[in-house]
Chains A and B, each alone.
Chain A
Amino acid sequence: MNAILLIVVQFLYYLPLNDGVSALLHGSYDEDETKTIGKIAPEFSLEDLQGSTLDLSDLRGNYVVIHIATTWCPFCNAEAPYLEELSQQYTDKNVRVLIIDVKEPRDLVQSKLQDRFNFSFPVLLDLDGSVAARYAPSDVLPDLARDEVMLASNLLIDPEGKIQFLSLLDSKNFDAKLINLKKRLDELLGKE
């Protein structure tokens, strides 16, 4: 009897851990991801192309624009010049731009992204796709791997670390010129 009781208690004890494992595997980071906007962005710590580590928390106090990319993604390549333009336009407005490249080796990203587009902002390497996966809302393309869902998407995180824009939720068509993201950024900057 005691043994059965112990198993039941342990089962209940491990349920939250079970959810945690599920979140790790399926990339969810919040119970209600349909409400991504306004939620705290998941923390990450990634290396850039020079091998320096950048933590999202290092950028707290800034607006952070993140583009999730791969070298072979035509949408990402089309957007690249506009990201650089945005970075230069907004750099004195407390805005930092990052690219997170998903599941590609450093040398490839260096030659096909950095050398080609000469970004003035960091390109980070999400070698196993786990960071991209953690940003994927569970209700968007639920039958796909979570890291895949975020490819070619843009995020805007405010100085408090809250997600204020996710292109997957707001766009019907790809927005290479980042018009919608800039609009949201200008709204937020205008409130300050």
Chain B
Amino acid sequence: MNYLARNNLIIFLFFLGAHFPLKAQLPDHHFVEINQSPEWEIYPGQRKNLEVNIKMLEGYHIQANQVQDPNLIPTSVTTIEVPFNIVVYNPIFPQPEPFKLRDAQDSMMVFQQTLRIYIPVEVKNEAKIGQHKITMNLHYQACDAVKCYFPRDLPFMINVVVNERTPDRENR
């Protein structure tokens, strides 16, 4: 390869490379925000419903957790990682709202504004005392008044503090 050709190739690769990171750095835009307590105190042997609030950005809605139309993608909250001796049960969703598109033949069920779900968590008697992290994933497909967006995954963490049972704490 002669000098000119080699230089051309280097400069081409430089500019090509300069653009690919731009694409890789595009933020994963989300249409929801997850709000919850910074940590949950649970005793060994206790089962608690942990509240998680999923706030839709203004003007957006997401599909319900159960959809009538099999083409649609239901919202789901699944467990990715859970510590030993802690059990996470299926989340409890509220009743979705009907949403009818103008001129559409059927309405569909969606969540709008704030979705409050409860995640039942049981800490076994054998669970280690201390801090634990449960990793969950929200899978959702959002639309606004004009268009729909690709389904997205939003992982989130629930911090659980397993404390020893003491009369003092239990009376709180």
Contacts and interface: CB of A to CB of B under 8 A. Distances in A.
B163 to A, nearest CB: 43
Nearest to B26: A145
Interface string B109-143: 00000000000000000000000000000000101
A176 B69 contact: no
Interface stretch (A29-37, A52-60, A74-82): A74-82
Interface string A47-80: 0000000000000000000000011111111100
B168 interface: no
Interface in B61-113: 63, 69-73, 101-105, 108
8 pairs of A and B residues whose beta carbons are closest in the complex:
A78-B104, A176-B103, A177-B103, A152-B147, A73-B148, A72-B73, A18-B15, A10-B11
Given A143-B26, A176-B101, 13 more contacts: A10-B8, A14-B11, A17-B15, A72-B71, A72-B148, A74-B69, A74-B143, A81-B105, A151-B150, A152-B147, A167-B146, A172-B145, A173-B146
A112 B108 CA distance: 17
Contacts of B70: 112
7 contacts: A70-B150, A74-B69, A74-B101, A75-B147, A103-B150, A151-B148, A168-B147
A10 B10 CA distance: 10
A21 interface: yes
Interface stretch (B16-24, B40-48, B50-58): B16-24
Contact of B148 (A14, A75, A172, A173): A75
Given A14-B12, A71-B71, A168 B146 contact: yes
Given A7-B7, A18-B19, A112 B103 contact: no
Contacts of A82: 103
Given A72-B141, A143-B27, A144-B149, A176 B104 contact: yes
Contacts of A145: 26, 150
Contacts of A76: 148
Contacts of A14: 11-12, 15
Interface residues of A, number: 41
Contacts of A143: 26-27, 29
B23 to A, nearest CB: 5
A77 B71 contact: yes
A73 B22 CA distance: 28
B26 A175 contact: no
Contacts of A174: 101-102, 145-147
Interface string A149-184: 001110000000000000110011111110000000
B2 to A, nearest CB: 12
B155 interface: no
B110 to A, nearest CB: 9
A151 to B, nearest CB: 6
Q: Which of B103, B143, B147 has the most CB of A within 10 A?
A: B147
B71 A152 contact: no
A6 interface: yes
